Amino acid sequence: MERGNHTPDSNFVLLGFADEGALRHLLFGLFLSMYLVTLLGNLLIILAILSDSHLHTAMYFFLSHLSFADCCFTSTTIPKMLVALHTQSKVITYAGCISQIFFFILFGCLDNLFLTVMAYDRFVAICHPLHYTTIMNPLLCGLLALGSWGISVLGSLLETLTLLRLSFCTNMEVPHFFCDLPTVLKLACSDTLLNNIVVYFVTVILAVVPLSGILFSYSQIFSSILKISSAGGKYKAFSTCGSHLSVVSLFYGTGLGVYLSSAATSSSRASQVASVMYTVVTPMLNPFIYSLRNRDMKGALQRLLSRAVPLRCEDILGCW
């Protein structure tokens, strides 16, 4: 079998959504709108947290990191897809493909870890409220954030560097709208056993373990809430973690949907639709979940927007 050249001069071809004909312009407008809403929503969350002293707490500190990771996560794949839809250019360079895989894994792992850290924060707030400020001190929050970034970078580097050792066949067509690591591995001509071992190892460390931590935290949270005698107390305790629980359900639900769709069917279209939910829809909905279900966040956003708006009409009229 002929070997492919895996130097930076080689190119991959992304087949996803590029041959939609009349629907191409509609998809371009739809994905562009969703991408802009995602960036605007998450950036507003970050600005509101930075500008409002009432939100300078551990929970919102981690939320700002999660919003930043969501902006970067969706920016890893969507701009290239928009270019392909607009120009019908399906080509992505070898270096571009490797870079896309690296950043996709990096920010995907960051989402996992920050959701886990936020679950721990809610666990401390509900199960150990009297010691919350002592436990969730700025030093620990900084170490948790730094550790999440460091572990994500190492995991992404491990998967990406092992990919560099592979040779690829002459057929370098990726049946997806981005360079998805499992899909790219199927195009390799050389042995991928080591890569598959690394993928499973990183998945366990950066996906299964964090999910287990989230489930354990919420098992303790629900146990503590059930011990509260008053219905009002139960509602207040549950409302403090409702937004996070909604985001966790959405994130892992769509991620599981991607895995199940890939395992249950060989249709690339079903896998692409599931991936859109995971890479576009979830980061777009997160700001709405946290702003609509959180009174403090809604107040901070209102104050931020009021400072950004120019003089009111009555102010302008008063100058005359």
pLDDT digits (tens, 9 = 90+) for 80-93: 989 888 888 888 99
Mean pLDDT of the chain: 83
pLDDT for res 288: 86
What per-residue confidence (pLDDT) applies to 189?
87
Q: Extract the tokens encoding 20.
A: 């939609």
Percentage of the chain modeled with pLDDT above 90: 37
Q: Model pTM?
A: 0.87
CB-neighbour burial class of residue 209 (10 A; exposed 0-12, middle 13-18, buried 19+) = middle
Measured in degrees and rounded to the nearest 5, phi and psi for residue 164 equal -65, -20
Decide yes or no: CATH 1.20.1070.10 for domain 11-296. yes
Q: Considering only CA atoms, which of 162, 258, 250, 155 is closest in space to residue 209?
A: 155
Mean pLDDT of 256-276: 66
CB 73 within 8 A of CB 279: yes
Instruction: Enumerate the domain spans of the chain.
Output: 11-296
Which of 82, 86, 90 is CA-nearest to residue 15?
90
| 5: confidence class by pLDDT, cuts 50, 70, 90 | very low
Per-residue pLDDT band at 18 (split at 50, 70, 90): low
Higher-confidence residue: 87 or 102? 102
Identify the residue with better confidence: 135 or 55: 135
Model confidence pLDDT, tens digit, residues 154-167: 999 999 999 998 88
Non-local (6+) Cβ contacts of 305 within 8 A are none
Does residue 253 or residue 317 have the better pLDDT?
Answer: 253
Token pair listed for 104:
């996709």
